[in-house]
C-alpha cells in the first residue's frame, strides 16, 4: 500500500508524472501569468495529452498555478488556451540560463486532449519515415532582408514535414519562406521543396544548423512535397529498414 510520501522526491518536491510526457517536440508557445503585463515566450520540449515540459529563460520565480499557455499545433488553424499547473522545475542541463518547467493541464477539455494526441500520432508517423542523409542542398531565401540569397550546405535529417540542414553560413529570419534544392551526390538529379525557416543555431567553425518546415499540400491527388522528397532520398540514398 502506497503512502503520500511515495509521491514526493527526497527534497520534498512532487515526483514528475512521466506518463504525462509522450513525445519530444519543439514548439513555440506563450505563457500568460497573472499579474504580469507581457506573456512569457517558452519552448515546449515534451508534450502529452495531460501535460508538458516547457523551457524558459525567465529567471524570476513563477507561481505553480494561475498560468495559461497558448499552444499552437501545426495540425490546428487556431491556438489552444490551456490552464497549466507547475509540478516541478529544474535547471536545463543544456543551458544554465534556462529552466525546465514540468506542467500538467488540470482542466483540459477532451477535444483539446484529442487534438494533442492526434498531433503526436502524426508526429510518430513522420518519425517512421525519417531518414539520416548526407545529401547536398542549396537553400534560397525567398523573403526577408536577404531575399533570393542562396546558401550551400547538406542535409542532416529529412522527414515529410521538415529538414535539418548543416549550412556553411545562413543569414535568415525565423519564418522566412525558402526553397530547398536537394541533390544526389553527383548532382545528376535533384528535387525542390518549398518551406519556411523554423529556427537556426550556430555550431562549430561559424556554420549553422537550420530547421526548415516543409510546405504541406499537394495538387490533384499528387504526393505531398515532403513525401516526394522522402521517395527521392530512398531512391538515391538507400537506408536500412530500421533507420531513424
Residue ranges of domains in the chain, CATH in brackets? 4-127 (2.40.10.220), 131-236 (2.40.10.220)
Cα gap 80→184, rounded to integer Å: 41
Q: At residue 205, what are phi and psi to the nearest 5 degrees? A: 60, 35
Q: With b meaning 16 or more CB within 10 Å and e meaning fewer, what string describes 66-92?
A: ebebebebeeeeeebebbbbbbbbeee
The whole model's pTM is what? Answer: 0.72
In tens digits, the chain (244 residues) has pLDDT values of 444 444 545 455 555 555 566 788 888 899 998 877 788 899 999 999 999 999 998 888 888 778 999 999 988 889 999 999 998 888 888 888 899 999 999 999 999 999 999 999 988 888 888 888 889 999 999 987 788 889 999 999 999 999 999 998 887 777 889 999 999 888 889 999 999 988 888 887 778 999 999 987 555 455 788 888 988 988 888 765 544 4
User: For position 20, what pLDDT does the model report?
Assistant: 62
CA 123: distance to chain centroid?
Answer: 10
Burial class (CB in 10 A: 0-12, 13-18, 19+), 97: exposed
Alpha carbon distance 78, 22 (integer Å): 22
Backbone angles phi, psi at 42, to 5 degrees: -130, 165
Amino acid at each position: 500500500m502506497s503512502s503520500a510520501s511515495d509521491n514526493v522526491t527526497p527534497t520534498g518536491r512532487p515526483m514528475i508524472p512521466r506518463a504525462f510526457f509522450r513525445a519530444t517536440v519543439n514548439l513555440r508557445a506563450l505563457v500568460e501569468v497573472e499579474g504580469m503585463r507581457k506573456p512569457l515566450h517558452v519552448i515546449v520540449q515534451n508534450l502529452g495529452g495531460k501535460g508538458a515540459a516547457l523551457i524558459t529563460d525567465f529567471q524570476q520565480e513563477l507561481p505553480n498555478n494561475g498560468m495559461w499557455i497558448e499552444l499552437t499545433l501545426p495540425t490546428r488553424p487556431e491556438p489552444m488556451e490551456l490552464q497549466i499547473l507547475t509540478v516541478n522545475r529544474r535547471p536545463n542541463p543544456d543551458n544554465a540560463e534556462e529552466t525546465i518547467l514540468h506542467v500538467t493541464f488540470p482542466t483540459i477539455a477532451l477535444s483539446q486532449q484529442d487534438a494533442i494526441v492526434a498531433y503526436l500520432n502524426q508526429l510518430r508517423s513522420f518519425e517512421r519515415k525519417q531518414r539520416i542523409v548526407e545529401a547536398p542542398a542549396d537553400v534560397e531565401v525567398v523573403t526577408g532582408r536577404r531575399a533570393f540569397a542562396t546558401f550551400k550546405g547538406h542535409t542532416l535529417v529529412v522527414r515529410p514535414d521538415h529538414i535539418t540542414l548543416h549550412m556553411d553560413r545562413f543569414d535568415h529570419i525565423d519564418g522566412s519562406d525558402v526553397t530547398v534544392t536537394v541533390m544526389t551526390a553527383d548532382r545528376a538529379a535533384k528535387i525542390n521543396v518549398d518551406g519556411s525557416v523554423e529556427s537556426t543555431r550556430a555550431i562549430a567553425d561559424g556554420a549553422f544548423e537550420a530547421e526548415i518546415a516543409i510546405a504541406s499540400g499537394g495538387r490533384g491527388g499528387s504526393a505531398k512535397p515532403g513525401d516526394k522528397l522522402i521517395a527521392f532520398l530512398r531512391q538515391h540514398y538507400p537506408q536500412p529498414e530500421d533507420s531513424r
